[in-house]
Amino acid sequence: MNTPKILLVDDDPLVLDLLATYVEAFGFSPTTAEDGVIATAKMDETSYPIVITDMMMPNMDGMQLLKYIRENHPRTSVIVVTGYDRTFTYTDVIRAGATDFITKPFSADELEAKLKRAVRELEMVSQLEILSISDGLTQIFNRRHFDIKIWEEVHRADRQGHDVFLLLLDVDNFKRYNDQLGHQAGDRLLQSIGAIMKSCIRENVDWAFRFGGDEFSILLTQITMEQALMTGRRILQKFAEQNFLESGLSIGMARFVRHQNNPWETDIADLIGRADKTLYTAKNLGKNQICVDEKLLTQ
């Protein structure tokens, strides 16, 4: 991950300046806040993977800030700095949600070690999250992440007034291809499809998934029907250029339709069902082509 930004929170300007000097010297990008209220406002504007906070502060103390972070920014790591009076113990702050603890006065070496540990833990969590939502073979997202992303995108589309299109893809004659050339060749074909899909969509706007086996899907957002069709045709063309013998791709395409009286789950299921039906229309019409849901064409 990139070097994270760090939010420093302390009502003592001397301590705040010292923290900022140290953190910047370690290669991080510090932002300062004089109390918890200011810190929460800054966190609502910008994401901070790590917060270093004092405990005894006016307006909102460290415990209250910890509670706010746990409830509103649960992925943020918090390192607590407290004085010799030990008003709050190590156990207190860890139970409240802090990831580490430093006692004033602190040394630069101790602060650097705590920060590096927090960064390593964030990197491990990030890697585990990527593994949990990715397909190991094709390096695109998996079905688990599809279920999350489709929910997010149809809600966003409804709020912002744009369309979402779902493309379902299935490899034609995949079993025959595997039987003739072996499973390693079949894996290479699937990997090529993943690479083709990623090359034909917009990063962080559209989303490609492997459902499992030889089934794939794409969510296209903020796009017209003709542009969505062009994306599907481009995928077909690039796949044909790979010359995988008698194999091809059948694609079914449908547009999300929101019915206000329906639960969201019903409309999402309707979208998947229409795309799946259209995919099998493409199969029945001779394979290796893209077909569009009839509802989409008549609306």
pLDDT tens digits along 136-150: 999 999 999 999 999
**pLDDT confidence of residue 132:** 86
Active site residue 214: yes
**pLDDT confidence of residue 295:** 72
Q: Which of 100, 135, 206, 214 is catalytic?
A: 214
Between 278 and 87, residue with greater pLDDT: 278
Pairwise CA distance, residues 69 & 253, whole Å: 42
Least confident of 6-15, 17-26, 160-169, 288-297: 288-297
Range 97-102, long-range pairs (CB < 8 A, 24+ positions): 97/66, 97/67, 97/69, 97/70, 98/66
CB 66 within 8 A of CB 98: yes
Pairwise CA distance, residues 167 & 163, whole Å: 13
Q: Give pLDDT tens digits for 175-221.
A: 999 999 999 999 999 999 999 999 999 998 999 999 989 999 999 99
Please count the other Cβ atoms lying within 10 Å of the Cβ belonging to residue 126.
Answer: 13
**pLDDT confidence of residue 91:** 78
Between 2 and 193, residue with greater pLDDT: 193
Q: Give pLDDT tens digits for 67-120.
A: 999 998 988 999 998 875 566 677 778 888 888 888 888 889 999 999 999 999
Task: Give the pairing of strands 215-221 and 207-212.
Answer: antiparallel
Output the average pLDDT for the chain: 91
Least confident of 37-41, 56-60, 201-205, 218-222: 56-60
The tokens 């010799």 sit on which residue?
Answer: 84
pLDDT band at 298 (very low <50, low <70, confident <90, very high): low
Under 8 Å CB-to-CB from 294, ≥6 apart: which residues? Answer: none
Going by CATH, does the domain composed of 141-298 fall within 3.30.70.270? Answer: yes
Domains of the chain, by residue range, sit at: 5-131, 141-298
**pLDDT confidence of residue 130:** 81
CB 256 within 8 A of CB 154: yes
Pairwise CA distance, residues 255 & 272, whole Å: 9
**For residue 77, which amino acid is it?**
S
Pairwise CA distance, residues 118 & 238, whole Å: 44
CATH of domain 5-131: 3.40.50.2300
Residue range 167-182: average pLDDT?
A: 94
**pLDDT confidence of residue 104:** 82
**pLDDT confidence of residue 103:** 85
